[in-house]
Amino acid sequence: MMDSTVSNFHTFIHQISNTMKTAVIFLASLCWLGANATIWRINSNPQVNANFTGINEAVAHWTVNNGDTLYLENGSYFPASTITKTLTIIGPGFFLLENDSTYANPLPALIQSLNLSCSGSKITGVKMIGNVSVNGNNNIIERCALGGTDNGSQVYGLIIRQCYVAGNISSGSFMSTTINNNIVTGMISLTATNSSHNIYNNVIYYNNGNTSYALTAINSSVINNIIIREPVLPDPNQNRTEYCISFGSGGNANSSFARNLMSQSPNALFPQNLYNQAKENIFKLSGSTDENWQLKSGSPAIGYGSNGDDCGAFGGPMYYVLSGLPWLLPRIIEADIPSGGNGNMIPVHIVAKTQEE
């Protein structure tokens, strides 16, 4: 990790009670957000002195306006939530118990499922147990863990980047998307007529006994990905022997497909790719859930991408960050707050880091 320690300090906080200790830790996490919009603390524990205990409660409140930020605190759980305003929603990340140097409190903020019935919102550092339903334009899902995506209407300008997707990015109504630097343990299927997509620097690992492709996209640019389809299945009509990629009916002529690594046998239509690749030769396959997908020493994906970049989620200028730690967000990695003090003084020791990547 490229984190840099920005504060390692001892201080005394005067006239503070035990009920304010959570706020002490929270203060360091707000330094970066600025003063242009209102910042709201959301914590599902009613004993914590936060602004709201639920996302839906905050979104519905008259004081929360377009452009505001909702900060979801460690250890919170929220049921199915709907966003109808243009907001920035920030959580602490995910897999926090698995990766080093995350938080003194390594519990994520969990949302059961999320409905983005808004436009122009950004969600980062949040763990969604279920799917994100996207029903608005120009939304960004960044550095999140989610179960997959769905939607019920045409969507333009969706960005999904640096996420861990434990399911499918699938829609017949996504009209334009940018999907980059994700780890997807499912399939990507984008089949809307007249749609176009940019799909680059992803790991797509689809292990399923059905006959669905790991990647289906028409009119798309597909570059620097690693696409592994297991198990290899024969087509009942003997038209193909693997289910790795498809550009849909008539989609090949309008698609750019190069500098990818795939587990399938060579396709003469797309010579600028590496075929017959096994995941054991590409990835570390050890460590935390997302660290598994880092490139191993000697991997054929190293430097194979366009501009000499590595292929996969950890390559390129906007590479995947372990645990989805939000960019520029200070976080407390050590906190020593005793239960009592001397009179009105409590000695507090805090070590914080800023996420610089």
Cα dihedral 330, 185, 270, 194 sign: negative
314 and 333 in a single domain? The answer is: no
Are 132 and 227 found together in one domain?
A: no
Selection from 154, 75, 44, 91 nearest residue 329 by Cα: 91
pLDDT, mean over the chain? 82
- List the one residue out of 87, 4, 103 whose CA is nearest residue 38: 87
Residues 263 and 224 in one domain: yes
Do 78 and 96 touch, CB atoms closer than 8 A?
no
229-241 average pLDDT score: 62
Q: 316 and 333, same structural domain?
A: no
Higher local confidence (pLDDT), 180 or 33: 180
Query: Could you tell me the pLDDT band of residue 157, with boundaries at 50, 70 and 90?
Result: very high
Q: Do 77 and 107 contact (CB within 8 A), yes or no?
A: no
* 84 and 104 inside one domain: yes
Within-domain flag for 180: no
Domain shared by 202 and 314, yes or no: yes
Supply the range of the domain harboring residue 49: 1-153+329-357
Give the sheet arrangement for strand 176-180, strand by strand.
Answer: 39-42, 69-72, 88-90, 122-124, 140-142, 158-161, 176-180, 196-200, 220-223, 256-258
- Total-model pTM: 0.84
Q: Are 185 and 163 in contact (CB under 8 A)?
A: no
Same domain, 125 and 232: no
Q: Does residue 179 belong to any structural domain of this protein?
A: no
pLDDT value of position 225:
97
Q: Same structural domain for residues 205 and 245?
A: yes
Which whole number is the average pLDDT over 298-316?
97
Do 7 and 147 reside in the same domain of the chain?
A: yes
> Domains in the chain: how many in total?
2
Query: Where do runs of H (alpha helix) occur along the chain?
Result: 21-28, 55-60, 279-282
- Residue 29 banded pLDDT, cuts 50, 70, 90: very low
Q: Is residue 282 part of a domain?
A: yes
* Residue 34: per-residue pLDDT: 45
Kindly state whether residues 103 and 202 are assigned to the same domain: no
Provide the CA 242 distance to its chain's centre, in angstroms: 29
Residues 276 and 346 grouped into a single domain: no
Highest mean pLDDT among 61-70, 264-273, 332-341: 61-70
3: which residues sit within 8 A by CB, 6+ positions away? 101, 353, 354, 355, 356, 357
In a domain, 176, yes or no: no
204 in a structural domain: yes
Poorest-pLDDT segment among 74-88, 214-228, 264-278, 332-346: 332-346
Q: Read off φ and ψ for residue 170, nearest 5 degrees.
A: -140, 130
Q: How confident is the model at residue 15 (pLDDT cuts 50, 70, 90)?
A: very low
Give the chain's length.
Answer: 357
Neighbouring C-beta atoms of residue 79, cutoff 10 Å: 12
19 lies in the same domain as 67 = yes
Q: Residue 29 domain-assigned?
A: yes
Q: Is residue 163 part of a domain?
A: no
Helix/strand/coil percentages in the chain, nearest 5: 10, 35, 55
Structural domain includes residue 134:
yes
Over residues 99-112, the mean pLDDT reads 80
